[in-house]
Amino acid sequence: MIVPGLQSGGLADGATQARLRDGAVEVIRREGGLGLPSPNPGPACERSCRRRTKDMQVPFRKLEPCVRGYFVRRVVLIGAESTGKTTLAEELAGRFESIWVPEYGREYWEKKVAGLRMDGPLPDWTSDEFVHIATEQQRRECEAARNANKVLICDTNALATGTWHERYMNARSPAVDAIGQRDRADLYLLAEPDFPFVQDGFRDGQHVRDWMHRRFVEELAKQTVPVVRLSGSLERRTDDASRAIEHVLRRSFDLL
């Protein structure tokens, strides 16, 4: 089903947001989505429209992927090394019958240090590498949102890449932070560093783990997106995260 005014291959970001919203509203209304007004609403319906749509059920399977990506709730796991983020991302994606986005920076790092020991000399970083990582993380997230089932679980995002740049380059990067500012997130899950550090052959940040956590806390405090801090066992983290996600999924969409 084609959304009016859009080609089926477009991504739901940047200047397309208003067009995606308007096209999605038309499709949902036509397909019987709950809580949306008729094209010619009466006074009572019009007043209702000016509130958030309370009980709308988006028919995801009937929407074009580019519009589905607009409505998918994005839940982002953030935390220092060895705080259980990846394990939790997989667990949450399975629990909500959806998909998750792995951390591209980890993939990049594994290639960068292939064959090297973590306790030996390691290659230097450049700011351009972090720009690339943030851009690619964001691209993969937007692509995955087109195929997610109501919620997309993200193992980090471009916002977090700015703090990794600070960790390795001793300063923040305006270019990386600008990419992070374009991130879409509905909920941040901050993993506390109360897990024992586990060396998996690629980690080099045990000595800065507490510092990284503090910086994530400080950066997330600047955001308007809700933040839930996760601690304790994996079971406890999963349950706490699930409750937070269920709350986000119950939130209405502000379409007008």
What is the distance between the alpha carbons of residues 84 and 128, in angstroms, rounded to a whole number?
A: 28
Question: Coil, strand, or helix at residue 190?
Answer: strand
Q: Residues 202-255: pLDDT tens digits?
A: 676 678 899 999 999 999 999 999 999 999 999 999 999 999 999 999 987 665
Q: Work out the angle between the directed axes of helices 158-169 and 127-145 (0-180°, nearest 10).
A: 160
Q: Residues 185-194: pLDDT tens digits?
A: 999 999 999 9
Give the mean model confidence (pLDDT) for residues 26-42: 44
Give the mean model confidence (pLDDT) for residues 156-171: 96
Q: Please say whether the beta carbons of 83 and 193 come within 8 A.
A: yes
pTM > 0.85: yes or no: no
What domains does the chain contain, in order, with CATH numbers?
14-68 (no CATH), 72-250 (3.40.50.300)
Q: Give the per-residue pLDDT at 19.
A: 56
* CA dist list (Å): 191 to 20, 146, 204, 229, 242: 33, 26, 18, 6, 14
What is the distance between the alpha carbons of residues 103 and 132, in angstroms, rounded to a whole number?
A: 13
What is the distance between the alpha carbons of residues 71 and 160, in angstroms, rounded to a whole number?
A: 23
Q: E strands of 43-191, at which residues?
A: 73-78, 99-101, 151-155, 187-191
- Shortest CA distance to 177 belongs to which of 163, 157, 156, 162? 162
